[in-house]
Amino acid sequence: MWLANQTRPDILNACLFRQWQSRQSYRALNVEASWRRTFATRIILRSWRSYKMNLALDELKEQWRVEKAALELAGAQRDIQEIKGDLDLCTDDIAAVKKSIRNAKRRIKDLTEFRKEARLRLPLVERHIENLTVQDMAAGWGENYEREWDMLTNCMGMAFEEEKIMRVKIAKLEQDLQVLKLEIDDQEADMDASSCREASRMEALRRMEITRGLNQAARDRSRAVRREKMRWAVRDVRRNVIKRSRKDLQRFRELARAERPLEVKQTLSYEKRRDQERDEEAEVRRMERDARKERFVELKKNGEGSLAVREVYDAVISGVRDILATATFEARRAKHDYRGRGPDEVGPAASAAATAAASVARKAAIAAARRGGGSGDSPEDAADAENAASIAAAAAAAAASTTGMAELGGGRVCRACGGPRFGRTVCAKCGANANSWRGEVDSEEEEEEEEDEDVV
């Protein structure tokens, strides 16, 4: 109607305006889509750069820890080598001091022996001096004895002084020996400390190596799992969409964020914010689990635990109990074949099967008598007897099969279709009534009796 009332220029202007408006809308939508893609790309790149920087920082920290442990290990080993050199020097010094002490003691012993010999020699020299004659004096013995006496007297004094010096030297050497022994004890303690530090650094390096291997294995496993998830994941994951649209989860998140402390809100640390977000997610999951348990308890109370539902269920079952009693599953299910049981265990159907077998055998005998009419000694009579026996065997097999089938339906089989009967009168397959079979059964029995009379 609007187009019918407008002129051609107005319609053209309207079309041009709508075309321009469509182009503008398309440009706006294109810019918005590009902006969304750019914003998402920036977020993804920022997250990726942060992830790579964190990995590089972790690697740098790991290298720094390894380098620090290696430097400490090298320092401990260098200290051990220096301590070993000091121990060797101390051992050599102790050996030299002990040797000096032995030499000093040996010198003291020699001086003591010399003094003893000198004290024994002096009286003898004095006696010789006193007993000198003029001839001995002229020969020079007096001067020699006097020189010997002076030498012994002076040597005894010097030996005494030297002995005192040796004793002082021994005391000083013993002090030096004690100092060296204490120094060896200190160096051994330093050796133990350096060895413990070396062992601890080696243990730290070993643990860092094991930790690095475990972390690498965990990263490889997570990477493999992530790749498999990305390979087999469904592109439109509805679970996240449902989670974003659930009001209860949003309420739980608001409750969890309301408990965020002020120092976490004002922090600039990424790790603290990440830990707080993880704690909040765990709290949201706990709230959701508790709410699910409460809903399950409420549903169970209003469902199977409801008194009204139980009363209605009992009333329904009581109302249909009579119907279920007439058409139970026990009556509808297929029964097993009982043809392997004995004649006393087959039930009421055994008599019907035996009657059928006897009827078939009797008919076979009548047919043989009508054909031959002989005494039974001829070959024809023997053939007829064999035919009658085979017919009787077939009848017995049919009777066994009928016996097994007669057990279906509580020992009652329909004569019309061969199916089991419900109760005593109704057939389960065709619905025929057993009372309608009585005339047929009686007529068959009368015909069999007439045939017997004819044979006789």
Sequence ranges of the domains in the chain = 40-227, 346-455
**CA atoms of 180 and 321, how far apart (whole Å):** 110
Q: What is the mean pLDDT of residues 259-287?
A: 83
Could you give the residue ranges of the DSSP H alpha helices within 246-306? 247-258, 262-265, 270-302
Q: Give the other-Cβ count within 10 Å of 194's Cβ.
A: 20
Q: How far is CA 238 from the centre of its chain?
A: 30
- pLDDT reported for residue 218: 94
Specify the residue for token string 């013995």.
Answer: 141
Q: What is the mean pLDDT of the chain?
A: 76
CB-facing half-sphere around the CA of 242: CA atoms within 13 A = 4
Six-digit token string for 328? 């139970």
Per-residue pLDDT band for 337 (boundaries 50, 70, 90) equals low
* pLDDT score of 375 more than 70: no
- pLDDT reported for residue 293: 93
- pLDDT reported for residue 120: 87
Q: What is the mean pLDDT of residues 216-220?
A: 93
Per-residue pLDDT band for 71 (boundaries 50, 70, 90) equals very high
Range from 193-202, 343-352, 425-434 carrying the lowest mean pLDDT: 343-352
Range from 91-100, 114-123, 291-300, 407-416 carrying the lowest mean pLDDT: 407-416
For residue range 321-336, what is the model confidence (pLDDT) as tens digits? 776 666 656 666 666 6
* pLDDT score of 345 more than 70: no
Q: Which of 180-194, 247-261, 378-392 has the highest mean pLDDT?
A: 180-194
For residue range 403-440, what is the model confidence (pLDDT) as tens digits? 444 333 344 556 556 555 544 455 655 665 554 444 44
Range from 277-281, 324-328, 330-334, 444-448 carrying the lowest mean pLDDT: 444-448
Percent of the chain at pLDDT exceeding 70: 68
- pLDDT reported for residue 225: 93
Buried b (16+ CB within 10 A) or exposed e, 375-399: eeeeeebeebeeebeebbeebbeeb
Six-digit token string for 380? 């024809």
- pLDDT reported for residue 103: 92
- pLDDT reported for residue 341: 47
- pLDDT reported for residue 399: 45
- pLDDT reported for residue 364: 55
Higher-confidence position of 355 and 42 = 42
- Regarding pTM above 0.85, the answer is no
* pLDDT score of 57 more than 90: yes
**CA atoms of 403 and 256, how far apart (whole Å):** 77
Per-residue pLDDT band for 60 (boundaries 50, 70, 90) equals very high
Per-residue pLDDT band for 299 (boundaries 50, 70, 90) equals confident
Q: In the CATH hierarchy, which fold is given to the domain comprising 40-227? A: Helix Hairpins (1.10.287)
* pLDDT score of 19 more than 50: yes
First-to-last C-alpha distance (Å) of the chain = 110
Range from 117-131, 175-189, 283-297 carrying the lowest mean pLDDT: 117-131
DSSP state of 427: E
Sort residue 99 into left (φ over 0), alpha (ψ -120 to 50) or beta: alpha
Q: What is the mean pLDDT of residues 396-407?
A: 44
Higher-confidence position of 371 and 303 = 303
